[in-house]
Chains A and B, each alone.
Chain A
Amino acid sequence: MRLVDVVAVLGGFPALAGASLTVERGEIVLLRGPNGAGKTSLLRLCAGLLAVERGQATVLGCDLTLDRAAVRRRVGLLGHANGLYADLTVGDNVRFWGDTVGATEREIAASMERMGLANRLMDVPVGRLSAGQRRRTALACLVARRAELWLLDEPHAGLDAAGRDELDQTLRAAAAAGATVMVASHELERAGALASRVVEVVGGQVRGAA
């Protein structure tokens, strides 16, 4: 992923003001910075949800200025919400999201296996899960969707210690399997330990983005 002097506007105000960042496949990058610095905007731009006004932006080999829809299908963005259906079981949810990209039964089963959901929790309705288990289910949906770039906004929020440990293990495993992970977080100690690189977002620009 490569951004060069990217400018993006949100609601008439500059959300990114010349942001440049290069991220290699398999990296876990932590975005830190104060509120309103542009971390979430950077994630949304990489997900193809925010238009590039100026500059160059290439994500997963696709030019964001030309085809944002193609990027959306390959990226997984997880914000504060999990995007799950509480009345459906874990298995139903993962299968639904996998089916949107034509994932096979084997891929869907593998994604649940990878997140430790395959046996005990598979038939449990999502509404009965703990916050950490829901987060894991949401991540399994990203795997089932074959997301190659994971964009996570404050992923540790609302999780207990065990849930946070589970999440970190999951992200490390995803990166080891070839996914690229970008995490925006205020929890620098925890997220910093997880990340292979930390960059600072200030005033819509990225610092320390070698």
Chain B
Amino acid sequence: MNAWGIARLVAAKDLRVEWRSRVLINQVLPFATLVMVMFAFALDNDQTLTRVAPGLVWLATMFSLLVVVQRSFAVETADGALDALQVAGVRPAGIFLGKSLALLAQLAVLELVLMGAAVVLYRTELHAGGVVLLVTTYVAATTGLAFVGTLYGGLAAGAKGRETLLPLLMLPVVAPVLIGATRATEAALGTEGATPSDGWPWIGLLILFAALFGVGGTMAFGSLIDE
């Protein structure tokens, strides 16, 4: 079976695992919402919250990403399934793309909830003029995060102390997404007088990031999980 066929199978399997275990719904979403509430407690000022809301949404996304990636690979390593996939000669590129697709879907749900939480808790206002930029930002940033998460999740999967290793490895790498996505979201929401045209250059960075990690991950994933 070709890499795309395997990718579809792996993505469907990962989403089925999530559907049956409900970890995203019962644990990750409440965790992410709690992080948003804690930010609100810590800053405790409506004006400040509205100004920093885009950054807080993306920070909460990054923290939640770590949990989702840990879970995605814990499922594979608990009973040696990732090893079994390698032994069975299943194409690593297909595994990478499939796990990235499933992660992308889960992150999309998570980000919708976080944006909803920002509207309710931080009084963030959405503007019709920024909708296209906002959607493009979410698609590009989420794709990049899904690729990085899968790549580093695979890298840490076989390592000792992977729970602590993953944040150390991954958070510095996703810093460009945090910066780019925050700036583009600020532009889409019109934070502090920003306009949508201010955000489009950041979309270039997000797309470049996603493309680099998508291509790199597809090529390197086999060697990474072999280690």
The 10 closest A-B pairs by CB, nearest first: A81-B80, A83-B84, A72-B89, A73-B89, A87-B21, A87-B20, A83-B81, A87-B17, A77-B87, A83-B80
Most chain B CB within 10 A, of A77, A82, A88, is at A88
Contact of A85 with B13 in the complex, beta carbons under 8 Å = yes
The closest CB in chain B to the CB of A44 belongs to B87
Contact of A86 with B88 in the complex, beta carbons under 8 Å = no
The closest CB in chain A to the CB of B84 belongs to A83
The closest CB in chain A to the CB of B21 belongs to A87
Contact of A49 with B1 in the complex, beta carbons under 8 Å = no
Show 5 A/B contacts (Cβ-Cβ < 8 Å), sorted by A. Answer: A47-B87, A80-B80, A83-B85, A85-B81, A97-B88
| Residue-wise interface mask of A (47-72) relative to B, using a CB-CB cutoff of 8 A (1 in contact, 0 not) | 11100000000000000000001001
Query: Is A102 positioned at the interface, with any CB of B under 8 Å from its CB?
Result: yes
Query: Is B16 positioned at the interface, with any CB of A under 8 Å from its CB?
Result: yes
| Residue-wise interface mask of A (15-55) relative to B, using a CB-CB cutoff of 8 A (1 in contact, 0 not) | 00000000000000000000000000000000111000000
With beta carbons under 8 angstroms apart, the residue of A82, A83, A88 that contacts B13 is A88
| B74 CB, min distance to chain A CBs, angstroms | 10
Interface size, A (range): 20 to 34
A residues neighboring B (CB under 8 Å): 47-49, 69, 72-73, 75-77, 79-89, 92, 96-97, 99-102, 125, 145
Contact of A99 with B75 in the complex, beta carbons under 8 Å = no
Bound: A161/B81 CA distance, A: 26
The closest CB in chain A to the CB of B75 belongs to A85
Contact of A87 with B75 in the complex, beta carbons under 8 Å = yes
Query: Is B83 positioned at the interface, with any CB of A under 8 Å from its CB?
Result: yes
| A161 CB, min distance to chain B CBs, angstroms | 23
| B12 CB, min distance to chain A CBs, angstroms | 8
Contact of B83 with A81 in the complex, beta carbons under 8 Å = yes
| B16 CB, min distance to chain A CBs, angstroms | 6
